[in-house]
Structure 1
Amino acid sequence: MWKVPVTQKPDQCLGEWIDREALAEAMIPLIGQLYRNNNVVTSIYGRSLINRSVIELLKAHRFARHRQADSHELSVHETFPLLKAMSELKLGAASVDLGKLAVKFKTDGNGRSAEAFVREELGPVVGQQNVGERKGTDVVLYGFGRIGRLLARILIEKAGGGDGLRLRAVVVRKGASNDLAKRASLLRRDSVHGSFDGIIHVDEEANTLTVNGNLIQFIYAKSPTEVDYTQYGISNALLVDNTGVWRDAEGLGQHLTCPGIDRVLLTAPGKGKLKNIVHGINHGDITADDKIVSAASCTTNAIVPVLKAVNDKFGIVNGHVETVHSYTNDQNLIDNFHKGDRRGRSAALNMVITETGAATAAAKALPELAGKLTGNAIRVPTPNVSMAILNLNLEKASSREEMNEYLRYMALHSDLSRQIDFVASQEVVSTDFVGSRYAGVVDAEATICNDNRVVLYVWYDNEFGYSCQVVRVMEDMAGVNPPAFPQ
């Protein structure tokens, strides 16, 4: 009878698991202290470690193998010493990717201790705890729909010690006598993104929600011009318009006439001369004089970082972008009148061909692509996660292996590592990308290369991934974007 060779014994496997659990458990208070006391946000290849459980920390380490060339599984034995060293260096505000830091320590440590390595790598923020004045920036959300509520979740998650972006108010039209309770319920429960990770207290009399200690004033108004935000103690605020009702400088400028509002960010493609910002690409174009800025669209944010990466190395002659996009609230649930072509047909029952301005908008963020791209979209019966198919003709020929390796490198080591993710699995489907914090995720197994022609498939969470990009633009506009390490 053939016997299966056994390399490990059950007790050994369990013992190793318990050991990893113990180390992950020891990491939790260190992560929390760095976050609350030092405003240091830790992650592993883009996966936030704030307020995570033991198993979630271990899964984040396991996930890291997909980002390594050798499929190496990151171990808590590698990250814990670095985290411990960080907790003892009185760090100033920073964003630290422990996964990348551990890999760099492994390859470039050169015999140094964890403490010596971390001290050098994080040198600019070592000893900077509570040095210099960091004042929180008030934030107002104008509208509380899909994007507004996700922005609220992210802002609350990133509140830290309160000297970054501080969500102070939400402006909506009153929809019912129990409006606030309904708004709280929608924030608490989400059919796509799951339950809110926190505690929400409702004060109907004061029209406030207290969410994980953050007091949020709900203001009921029918137009931007009728609100005086200073009455609520709000000043020099950054207002984020999620409604999409106004998309040009004139319409959005109404917000700037309100006492307490200093700058405005639109979560839709801007019209006219408004700057359309894709973080990671042209966020450096934001100046102190820019009072109104657009964060472009979810699709533009998904495709532009990948397009820039490809164009920088291979050159793009021309191409076509086809978006397979989840349906949105703009479409009808069942057939009914709609002013837009085809959008009146049931979103839940049909694939619907519609237009997209993403290809044209890409040139606003990346002018070298002007006139080179066409685009179209197909709305499909899924509630979230979309895909952009980039069919490109290149100046330089490439192979599938070369293209994938290059994009993997860009996802790991470039300035676009917060925008581009990379997955090499033949089993992933759209729901696997719900909650992705990246602008777009390159599906390596779907890449097609034929001489000078390449077809790339890019997944994106058109709600949450886009919202993360919006918050990054907000941080830049407010001047509260901490340095990222390793550099």
Structure 2
Amino acid sequence: MNQPAATHLESWNAKQELAERMIPMIGQLYRDHDVVMSVHGRTLVGQSAIDIIRAHSFARKIDVNELPLTETFAIIETLAAIQPGPASIDLALLAAAFRATESADLESFLREQLASNADTAPTAGSDVVLYGFGRIGRLLARIIIDHSGSENGLNLRAIVVRKGSENDLEKRANLLRRDSVHGPFNGTISIIPEENVILANGVRIQVIYSNDPASVDYTAYGINNAILVDNTGRWRDAEGLGQHLQNNGIARVLLTAPGKGDMLNVVYGVNNDKITDADTILSAASCTTNAITPVLKVINDEYGVKQGHVETVHAYTNDQNLIDNFHKGDRRGRSAALNMVLTETGAAKAVAKALPEFEGKLTGNAIRVPTPDVSMAVLNLQLEKETTREEINELLRQVSLTGALRTQIEYVESSEIVSMDFVGSNRAGIVDGLATIVTGSTAILYVWYDNEYGYSCQVVRIIEQLAGSHPAQVPARNA
């Protein structure tokens, strides 16, 4: 017999009440103790009650059943009493582990799980400078500010730009406040004109005007040992980017574009373990390279890739012209808003910088299309072994849920999903399972990616590694 509508509403209201009671405890643990809580990698910090319920519902993809809020509420309430040290806590995995013990002593269980980081003290955080404040720069600012509540991670201290007008500061603040693609800033923004400062959710961002990357004394602003993120794309080699290191206060430089020469090009999740203290200048590669490399690694590890071609259907960028005008690049002078523009991409070759086993195996082209954000990569791969559509999709689905690359790869199956549905995705790439084609040893995979926000999340992950601001995972896991 069907349940009455009132029963469903009562159940929903009970969930919402529990989620609302969680919010202040999640916030306090984050701000005071650098404890970041998530459900299968989906953060609960700064989320609404509805977002928290949605994250618990997502657990059905992995555990079959929805994660009960009663279980996670008990864990959060006990953690609030324990007041642990810095940790990244996955409530879904923790709840499952406690269930498996069949114990009633939740506090003892949690203390045992937290024992390895019991003496870990919060750090002072690392200063970050954004050199350039365009599409990627502003998204990086949003993400870092959103993560700034604990004051133990990344401290966005300054942006460096060329002054565009007398009201430049106000215009920069307004561009951070409102975005035609990604929506309004999540919080409040004001300016201190006499000090050239933007205040965003309490974060004081010094705006520094300079035309010369080697002429800024960052220590004059109290900035020391900072990680500078160059998102201008103006310099792509170690010599050009090395100008930043001539300044007092800058310790490392990260480029948000493919680096030239012997520079380490990092795709987080794939080769970030290659970063050493000697890498003072490194690259976060490109949005497309970040989207396809994790998927290519999974496929190559399981089946082997003999040869392949990458065709990217890419949103237009600021590099193109709105209407026809001169452009030094072929075809890019034609109107971005009116045309599909066939152009080249270095992403196929760049994959080999993160995965050397792909050297000489991939070719690629790009088609710029009249959409402002979200792109797609079509991977046409010749494999060493034969497989089936079902097998390859299940592999990618499992990796996206529980694998080592789960923060890079998402997997979807929907006959109604389109590009705008992926705006704001924090994954490097999203495999469209319904589009997968497999014939023997030939596999064609379709990978969506938010070429702005998803890429920016990958960049922030690298910055966090450089800063050493990743707290220990609880429960500990090897995958």
Look up the match of 1:368: 357
Look up the match of 2:210: 221
Look up the match of 1:58: 53
Deviation at 1:133, TM superposition (A): 6.0
Deviation at 1:165, TM superposition (A): 0.9
**Aligned with 2:425 (options 420, 436, 441):** 436
Amino acid at match of 1:269: P
Name the SS of the counterpart of 2:444 in structure 1.
Answer: strand
Structure 2: runs of 5+ lacking an equivalent:
none
Name the SS of the counterpart of 1:161 in structure 2.
Answer: coil
Look up the match of 1:87: 80
Look up the match of 1:124: 116
Amino acid at match of 2:89: V
The TM-score, its normalising length taken from structure 1, stands at 0.94
Deviation at 1:431, TM superposition (A): 1.0
For 2:114 and 2:348, locate their aligned partners in 1 and report how far apart those are by CA, in whole Å.
39
Amino acid at match of 2:451: N
5 Å-filtered alignment, 1:341-380, equals 341-380=330-369
Look up the match of 1:29: 24
Look up the match of 2:392: 403
**Identity over the aligned pairs, expressed in percent?**
60
Change (3 A) 1:345 1:263: same
Q: Deviations over 1:365-387 (max 9, x none)?
A: 00111111111111111111111
Name the SS of the counterpart of 1:223 in structure 2.
Answer: coil
Look up the match of 1:424: 413
Look up the match of 1:179: 168
**Aligned with 2:35 (options 36, 40, 44):** 40
Look up the match of 2:226: 237
5 Å-filtered alignment, 1:64-213, equals 64-65=59-60, 67-68=61-62, 70=64, 72-105=65-98, 108-111=100-103, 113-125=105-117, 127-128=118-119, 131-132=120-121, 134-213=123-202
Contact 1:303 1:458 in 2 (8 A): yes
For 2:333 and 2:162, locate their aligned partners in 1 and report how far apart those are by CA, in whole Å.
25
Amino acid at match of 1:413: T
For 1:311 and 1:281, locate their aligned partners in 2 and report how far apart those are by CA, in whole Å.
12
Structure 1: runs of 5+ lacking an equivalent:
1-5
Amino acid at match of 2:338: L
Amino acid at match of 2:210: A
Amino acid at match of 1:90: Q
For 1:329 and 1:103, locate their aligned partners in 2 and report how far apart those are by CA, in whole Å.
47
Name the SS of the counterpart of 1:193 in structure 2.
Answer: coil
Deviation at 1:426, TM superposition (A): 1.8
The TM-score, its normalising length taken from structure 2, stands at 0.95
**Is 2:311 aligned against 1:322?**
yes
For 1:470 and 1:152, locate their aligned partners in 2 and report how far apart those are by CA, in whole Å.
11
For 1:385 and 1:37, locate their aligned partners in 2 and report how far apart those are by CA, in whole Å.
36
Contact 1:46 1:437 in 2 (8 A): no
Amino acid at match of 1:68: I
Contact 2:122 2:152 in 1 (8 A): no
Name the SS of the counterpart of 1:321 in structure 2.
Answer: strand
Name the SS of the counterpart of 2:214 in structure 1.
Answer: helix
Change (3 A) 1:459 1:122: farther
For 1:91 and 1:310, locate their aligned partners in 2 and report how far apart those are by CA, in whole Å.
39
Change (3 A) 1:387 1:112: farther
Q: Deviations over 1:91-142 (max 9, x none)?
A: 2222223344445555x444465444444444422x34xx446221111000
Name the SS of the counterpart of 2:379 in structure 1.
Answer: strand
Change (3 A) 1:45 1:431: farther
**Aligned with 1:7 (options 2, 5, 10):** 2
For 2:347 and 2:105, locate their aligned partners in 1 and report how far apart those are by CA, in whole Å.
48
Worse-matched range after superposition: 424-433 or 327-336: 424-433
Q: Deviations over 1:38-86 (max 9, x none)?
A: 1112223333222221122222323443x3374x333323422232233
Name the SS of the counterpart of 2:194 in structure 1.
Answer: coil
Look up the match of 1:335: 324
For 1:427 and 1:114, locate their aligned partners in 2 and report how far apart those are by CA, in whole Å.
43
Contact 1:141 1:169 in 2 (8 A): yes
Contact 2:33 2:122 in 1 (8 A): no
Amino acid at match of 1:197: N
Q: Deviations over 1:142-170 (max 9, x none)?
A: 00000000000111111132121100000
Change (3 A) 1:431 1:133: closer
Look up the match of 1:254: 243
For 1:424 and 1:80, locate their aligned partners in 2 and report how far apart those are by CA, in whole Å.
31
Contact 2:316 2:336 in 1 (8 A): yes
Look up the match of 1:391: 380
Name the SS of the counterpart of 2:443 in structure 1.
Answer: strand
For 2:111 and 2:395, locate their aligned partners in 1 and report how far apart those are by CA, in whole Å.
31
Q: Deviations over 1:295-329 (max 9, x none)?
A: 00011111111111111111111111111111111
Contact 2:213 2:244 in 1 (8 A): yes
For 2:57 and 2:283, locate their aligned partners in 1 and report how far apart those are by CA, in whole Å.
36
Q: Deviations over 1:12-31 (max 9, x none)?
A: 11211111111000110111
RMSD of aligned Cα (Å): 1.7
Change (3 A) 1:60 1:177: same
For 1:101 and 1:387, locate their aligned partners in 2 and report how far apart those are by CA, in whole Å.
35
Change (3 A) 1:370 1:113: farther
For 1:78 and 1:440, locate their aligned partners in 2 and report how far apart those are by CA, in whole Å.
32
Amino acid at match of 1:33: Q
Look up the match of 1:3: none
For 1:392 and 1:105, locate their aligned partners in 2 and report how far apart those are by CA, in whole Å.
43
Amino acid at match of 1:477: L
Change (3 A) 1:120 1:352: farther
**Is 2:422 aligned against 1:466?**
no
